[in-house]
Structure 1
C-alpha cells in the first residue's frame, strides 16, 4: 500500500515523503529502487524514512512539511495520524472496509447462489470487497436456518472446485474455526448461533444483525435484516461500508439499491461480481488522484 500511494503521488507531480511500515520487510525500498532504475529523475521526488510510529516528535516534524498526509490502516492508525496532523494538511485516509451479500428473493436462484458461493471461496474472504456476512430480508429465524441448509451444498461444491492451495491454508482455516467456537463459548454466545458445518466451509445462523468480519476461508455468518431496518443497522458501520452483493427479484433491484446507497455503500453489484473491478473504477467511492491535487486559478 505505501508504494501504491507513492505511485499516485508521483503521477500527480508531488514530492513524496514515504514512512516505511513496520512489517514492510524491505519491499517498499526494493520497489523504489526498481522505479529509479527505469526513471532516475524520480529520485528528486522520493524521500524514504524508516521512522517508527512511536516516534511522534519526528512524525510531527515530517507532517509539518506536508500539504497532505496519506494513511492506510485501521481506526487506531487513522486516529493517531489525526492527532498529530497540522491544521491545514489534507488527510487522505484509506481504512479497512466491510462488504456483504443481501438477499431478498431471486432472479435465478441456483445461478445466483452458485455465484455467491464461488465468490466466497475464490476470494477466501480476504478482500475488502469480499462477502463477510450474508443478510436475508426477513424477520423469521426459521428462514435463516432454511437458507443455511440450502446454501451449504453450494458452498461445499465451490470448496471442491476451488480447493485450498496447501496444508498451511487448511491449518489456518481449522485454527480460525475452532478459535471462533472457543470465543463464542467463553462469551456465552454459542447458544445464539447454530452452526452448519460442511467440507472446508461453515455457515453460522446468528440471532443478531451486526455486520461483522467473517471467519474467512469459507466461514460466513447468516443473519436477518429486513429492508425496513437496513438504515439504522448498517449506519452503525458508516465509513467502513464498501460493496453489497445484491440478490433480489428484478422489480425490487432499483429500490433496494437506492436504500443501500443511503446506508453508505459505495459499490452495489451482483453477488458473484463483488470483487470484480473495471478499469477507471472508483476506489472506495473516490477517485484517488483527485485527492492528491489542488486546483489553482491564475489570471493572465
Structure 2
C-alpha cells in the first residue's frame, strides 16, 4: 500500500521546474500541499526557456521513453497516484484504472509525429525558420516559437494531464500546470516519471505542476501576467473560465477548451428491427457514459427519428445498456446524480405521459423520454431522448455550444454534416465513436499546437 493510501489526509506533492517538492503546510479539506513559493513558478524573460533550443527529435525521444516507463511504472508513481485518486478523486476506481492504462500509448512516437504534422504541417517549424517567397519576390521567414504557458487543467479524465504535458513538451516552451482539485496526482506522476527518464534535462526543467485554489487572487494576480507568460490554456467548467478571463488582455492570450454539450442523432434506420434498436442503444450508451458522463464528449440529448412507441423500446434498451461497465463507464452504484437533477426528475415523473422516466437514481443510468428537450442539464449518467419527425428538426437544438454529434447510421452523416457545421457543431462522429480524436486534427474547433506556439516572422 502506498504512503498516500494509508494517510488520513492525502498529501499532494508539487513538481517545480524539474524537482519534486513535498510538504503539508497548505490545507484544503481532504488534502494538503507544500507551501506555494510563487517566485519559483516563473521563468524570467531575461533568458530563453530551458528547452527553447532543444531539437524536436530529442524532445520526442524523452516523451517516448516516458510512455514506456509509464507502461511498467517501476517506481510506482502511477500506482501511488491511483491510490490517492481513489480516495479523493471523483472517478470510479475501475474507470480510473482503465484510464491510467490508456496513458502510455499517448506517448508513442507515431502519435507524436502525427500530432506535429497534422497540427503544424511539419516538424521543421519547431526547430528552425521556414523561408517563403511571396508573389512580389520578397523573402520572409517564420517559425513556431516556444511559448510560456499556464495550463488550468480539468480533472474529469486523466488524459487531460497527459495531452497537456505532451503538447507543452512538443512546443518546447515553459509550462506551469495548475492541478485541478479532482485530479491532483496524474500530472505530477507523469512528470516524476519523465524526470527519472531524463534527470535535469531542459524539457523536465520546463515544467511545474502545483495546486492553488482557483480564483485565489493572491496567486493569480501575480502569476497571470504577460511579464511572465504568453497564454493561459484553460480547461474546465464555466466558473473556471470566467475566473481565468479576467486576467486576459494585451500580451496575455486565452486558449480555451471551454465546456460544451454533446448530442446524438439517431435515424429511422435504427427502428427497422429489434436488432437495429439494440445496436443503436448500445452505441448511444457508450457515447452517453464517457467517464460516467463527466466528459464534454458525453452525449446528454439524443434525438430519435421515431414514434413515441418506438422511442419507448429504444429507451428501455438504452437504460439497460447504460448500467453496464465499459472502458470509460462504471457499472453503477458509484455515480452521484446531482440534487438538482433529482428534483427535476421527481417533477417529470408527475407529468406522465408527457414525460417518461426510465431507471432510478442508482448510478446505473437514467433516461427521460420527451417530445421537447428538458430545460436542465442532464448529469450523473442522465440522458434526454427526444422524438423528432426528421433529424433535420434536431438542427435547431444545435449551436456553437455543441461539441460532438454522434450519428446513426454512419451513412446519414454526409447529408447532415454541412448543416450541423453551419449550426455551430464542431465534431461529427459515428454513434458510439465519440471517445478519442483531437490529436493531429482539430480539437474544440482549432488546432491546439498552432494556437499554443508564438508565430514569429523575419521579413525582407
Point out the structure with the larger helix share: 1
User: CA shift at 1:85, angstroms?
Assistant: 2.4
Q: 1:8 aligns with which of 145, 167, 187?
A: 167
Whether 1:151 and 2:151 are equivalent positions in the alignment is: no
User: CA shift at 1:287, angstroms?
Assistant: 2.1
Q: Paired residue for 2:265? A: 102
- Report if aligned partners of 1:99, 1:131 keep a CA contact under 8 Å in 2: yes
Q: 2:193 aligns with which of 20, 34, 37?
A: 34
Q: 1:85 aligns with which of 248, 251, 270?
A: 248
- Report if aligned partners of 2:264, 2:302 keep a CA contact under 8 Å in 1: yes
Q: Paired residue for 2:425? A: 265
User: CA shift at 1:248, angstroms?
Assistant: 5.8
Superposition RMSD in Å: 3.6
- Report if aligned partners of 1:243, 1:269 keep a CA contact under 8 Å in 2: yes
TM alignment of 1:27-176, pairs within 5 A? 27-39=186-198, 40-41=200-201, 42-64=203-225, 65-106=228-269, 109-110=272-273, 113-122=277-286, 124-125=289-290, 126=293, 127-137=295-305, 143=307, 145-152=308-315, 154-155=317-318, 158=321, 162-163=324-325, 169-172=331-334, 176=337
Whether 1:285 and 2:445 are equivalent positions in the alignment is: yes
Q: What secondary structure is seen at the aligned counterpart in 2 of 1:273?
A: coil
- Report if aligned partners of 1:266, 1:284 keep a CA contact under 8 Å in 2: yes
Q: What is the aligned length?
A: 286
User: CA shift at 1:8, angstroms?
Assistant: 1.0
Q: Which moved more, 1:181-190 or 1:257-266?
A: 181-190
Distance of 1:266 and 1:59 partners within structure 2:
31
- Report if aligned partners of 2:409, 2:431 keep a CA contact under 8 Å in 1: no
- Report if aligned partners of 2:232, 2:252 keep a CA contact under 8 Å in 1: yes
Instruction: Summarize the Cα distance change of 1:150–1:71 in structure 2 as closer, same or farther, 3 Å threshold.
Output: same
Whether 1:184 and 2:345 are equivalent positions in the alignment is: yes
- Report if aligned partners of 1:231, 1:262 keep a CA contact under 8 Å in 2: no
Whether 1:206 and 2:351 are equivalent positions in the alignment is: no
Q: Paired residue for 2:33? A: none
Q: 2:383 aligns with which of 211, 220, 231?
A: 220
Whether 1:17 and 2:17 are equivalent positions in the alignment is: no
Q: Which moved more, 1:183-192 or 1:200-209?
A: 183-192
Distance of 2:190 and 2:303 partners within structure 1:
41
TM-score normalised to the size of structure 1? Answer: 0.77
Q: Is the radius of gyration larger for structure 1 or structure 2?
A: 2
Q: What runs of 5+ residues in structure 1 fail to find an aligned partner? A: none
Distance of 1:10 and 1:285 partners within structure 2:
22
Distance of 1:115 and 1:27 partners within structure 2:
35
User: CA shift at 1:228, angstroms?
Assistant: 5.5
- Report if aligned partners of 2:413, 2:430 keep a CA contact under 8 Å in 1: no
- Report if aligned partners of 1:106, 1:248 keep a CA contact under 8 Å in 2: yes
TM-score normalised to the size of structure 2? Answer: 0.53
Distance of 2:404 and 2:241 partners within structure 1:
21
User: CA shift at 1:193, angstroms?
Assistant: 1.7
Q: What secondary structure is seen at the aligned counterpart in 2 of 1:147?
A: helix
The structure whose RCO (Cα within 8 Å, separation 6+) is larger is 1
Distance of 1:92 and 1:278 partners within structure 2:
15
Q: What secondary structure is seen at the aligned counterpart in 1 of 2:457?
A: coil
